[in-house]
Amino acid sequence: MDSDWVGAGADVFAAVGTVGAFIVGFVLLRREHGREASRAEDEQRAQAERISAWVELTRKVDGSRELAFHIHNASDMPIYEVELPLPTRGDEEAGSEFVGLVPPGQTIQKPAPADWLRTYVEPEPVEIEFLDSAGRRWSRDEQGSLARAEET
C-alpha cells in the first residue's frame, strides 16, 4: 500500500512538473513573440523617425525675407507623396502643400503662405504626411509625434 502511495505521488509530481514546464515554455514563447513584434515595429518606424519638417525664415538672393517650409530626409531612402497639411480657418476647405519626393539625405525648401510671415516668431515644426520607401503612410504632428496615418 505504501508503494502505491509513493507511485501515485511520483505520478502527481511528474504531472505537475510537466504542466509547469508547459506553462513556463508558453510564457517564454509569448515574451519572445512580443519582442519580435516590437523589433518589427522599430524596423518599420526606422525611416519615418528620420523625417522632419519645419517652417523658417530665409533670405532670398535679392535680400528680401521669405518664409519657407523645410522638409529634411535624414534616412538612406527617399520618401514619397510628401504633403504638408495647412491649418484652416472657419469654413475653409482643408488644404495642403504637395512636395512630392524628398531624396535621401537632403532638405527641400518650399515657400510657405505669405500671410504666415505676419505671425512668424522663430523656426517651428509643422505637420507632415508621407510614404516611406516600403509604401507605409506616416504622419508627424507639430509636436513631433509620429504615427501611422490612416489609409484613405
pTM here?
0.70
Q: What is the pLDDT of residues 81-123, one digit of tens each?
A: 999 988 766 666 777 889 999 999 999 999 988 888 888 888 8
**Range picked from 4-13, 14-23, 33-42 for highest mean pLDDT:** 14-23
C-beta of residue 53 within 8 angstroms of C-beta of residue 84: yes
What per-residue confidence (pLDDT) applies to 49?
A: 93
C-alpha cell at 10: 511520483
Q: What is the pLDDT of residues 43-72, one digit of tens each?
A: 778 899 999 999 999 888 888 888 999 999
What per-residue confidence (pLDDT) applies to 61?
A: 85
Identify the H or E element spanning 146. strand 146-148
65-73/146-148 β-pairing: unpaired
CA–CA dist 70, 122 (Å, integer): 13
For the chain, give the mean pLDDT.
85
pLDDT bin (cut points 50, 70, 90) of residue 1 is low
The sign of the dihedral angle between the CA atoms of 107, 112, 118, 120 is negative
CA–CA dist 65, 54 (Å, integer): 16
